[in-house]
């Protein structure tokens, strides 16, 4: 599914948190949105999943404006793992994942056997089946994060919006979660803090600085000395991993 930001400005006060963002994301791309704290990553994602309406500009999902299309159509197509999205703590993990099927159901429909199959598959893929019957309130941060990812997958979306999906995850689950979403072949836009993960998993990196796009393109074009310094205020280099040859991002403090 295509995703377009056309001159998007959005925010919470008179000072916008993202300004005049224009990006065209082609179907199947894995876009990592990176940038320092407060640079507007979550705000930009919120304009896609209808948590914050752009003040000016438009967000297009496929050929439809995210904000004027019928809500259910957008909900069906867009899977979301947001920040602080825990909610429903009395649910078990499995019940939480079942919520991912609701956009596909009519008002009085119940989950069918095939819906339940999709739910079980999402639980398995994320490894959340191990604690599927436990209340969400009893899960660790990383376990809950895997349930939220399973819920987004259970929706079988055409576009996945992930706000710091690796938050709370241990190294093995960080890698498996990003491999998993990349393997789906759908369009993914994910706010990521770890540049190394962005370099290894994304097809495109968008670097935000103070709410505007400082650089956008393939990882090798965006993760440059200039961007490390100008956007992140660190020194950095990208080197091939000695084992698999894929990129590794090494960061250092700026020389004083």
Ligand X SMILES: Nc1ncnc2c1ncn2[C@@H]1O[C@H](COP(=O)(O)OP(=O)(O)OP(=O)(O)O)[C@@H](O)[C@H]1O
Per CB under 6 A, 17 contacts ligand X: yes
| Contact stretch for ligand X (CB under 6 A) within 32-40, 55-63, 151-159, 179-187 | 32-40
Per the CB < 8 A criterion, the answer to whether 69 and 185 are in contact is no
* Nearest CB to ligand X, comparing residues 52 and 136: 52
Per CB under 6 A, 38 contacts ligand X: yes
Among 4, 30, 32, 42, binds ligand X (CB under 6 A): 42
Cα–Cα–Cα angle for 33, 7, 226, nearest 5°?
Answer: 45
Chain-centroid distance, C-alpha 249: 20
The site for ligand X, by CB under 6 A, has a size of 12
Residues 221-250: x/- map of binding to ligand X (CB under 6 A)?
------------------------------
Among 25, 30, 39, 214, binds ligand X (CB under 6 A): 39
- Within the chain, what is the greatest distance between any pair of CA atoms? 64
Per the CB < 8 A criterion, the answer to whether 77 and 3 are in contact is no
Per CB under 6 A, 35 contacts ligand X: yes
Q: Shortest Cβ distance from residue 122 to ligand X (Å)?
A: 26
Per CB under 6 A, 19 contacts ligand X: no
Per CB under 6 A, 108 contacts ligand X: no
* Chain length of the chain: 256
Residues 157-196: x/- map of binding to ligand X (CB under 6 A)?
----------------------------------x-----
Q: Shortest Cβ distance from residue 95 to ligand X (Å)?
A: 28
Binding residues for ligand X (CB under 6 A): 12-13, 17, 35, 37-43, 191
């Amino acid at each position: 599914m295509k995703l377009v930001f056309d001159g998007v400005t959005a925010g919470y006060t008179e000072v916008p948190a993202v300004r005049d963002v224009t990006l065209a994301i082609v179907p199947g791309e894995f876009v990592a949105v990176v940038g320092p704290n407060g640079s507007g990553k979550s705000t930009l994602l919120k304009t896609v999943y209808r948590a914050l309406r752009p003040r000016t500009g438009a967000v297009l999902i496929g050929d439809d404006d995210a904000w004027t299309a019928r809500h259910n159509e957008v909900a069906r197509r867009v899977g979301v793992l947001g920040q602080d999205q825990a909610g429903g703590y009395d649910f078990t993990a499995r019940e939480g994942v079942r919520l991912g099927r609701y956009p596909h159901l009519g008002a009085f429909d119940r989950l069918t056997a095939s819906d339940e199959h999709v739910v079980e598959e999402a639980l398995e893929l994320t490894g959340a089946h191990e604690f599927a019957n436990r209340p969400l309130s009893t899960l660790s941060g990383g376990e809950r994060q895997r349930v939220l990812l399973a819920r987004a997958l259970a929706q079988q979306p055409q576009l996945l919006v992930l706000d710091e999906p690796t938050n709370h995850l241990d190294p093995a689950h960080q890698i498996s979660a990003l491999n998993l979403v990349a393997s789906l072949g759908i369009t993914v836009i994910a706010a990521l803090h770890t540049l190394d993960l962005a370099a290894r998993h994304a097809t495109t990196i968008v670097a935000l600085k103070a709410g505007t796009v400082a650089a956008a393109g393939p990882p090798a074009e965006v993760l440059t000395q200039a961007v490390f310094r100008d956007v992140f205020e660190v020194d950095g280099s990208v080197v091939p991993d000695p084992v698999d040859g894929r990129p590794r991002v090494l960061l250092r403090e700026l020389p004083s």
